[in-house]
Amino acid sequence: MSNLAARLRRFKYRLRHDFFTAPNIILVLAIVLCLNWTYRSIEAMSRNWELSERLNSAEKTLELRKIEIETGELENAYLASDEYQELAARKFAGKQLEGENMVYMPENSERAKTKHNNEVASASEEKKEYSNFEQWMMYLWP
């Protein structure tokens, strides 16, 4: 038992004189403060980034709303113009100016609709595929 008591006294002495000295306590305290400061700084930067993202989103939404309002105002101004009134009267009421004649064209035939499609297809078929080397030679020495 005395051996255990002696060991405990030596352990207490060693803790008090080797580990719990003023420089060691100050060093541990400094490390804890640095870690706390680092954590708080990262937390503040994260919060600032979140707030800036929300601000940017709100600014984009505001700009979009301003553009929508401006577009609506321009559309209202166009709908109130004489030009639109005349076009609407021509389209919906069948109105026309003096001296104008309506000409009704027949629908295009299937042959007329597909004419240009065939020309584009034949032009792409005639194109020869050149290798990369041939393309460079044609570029350098035309």
Domain ranges of the chain: 2-105
What region, left, alpha or beta, does residue 99 occupy, with left being phi > 0 and alpha being psi -120 to 50 degrees? left
Token pair 């940017």: residue? 56
pLDDT at 61: 97
Q: Is the pTM of this model over 0.85?
A: no
17-47 confidence digits (pLDDT tens): 888 888 889 999 999 999 999 999 999 999 9
- Do 116 and 122 touch, CB atoms closer than 8 A? no
Give the SS3 label for residue 60: helix
3: pLDDT strictly greater than 70: yes
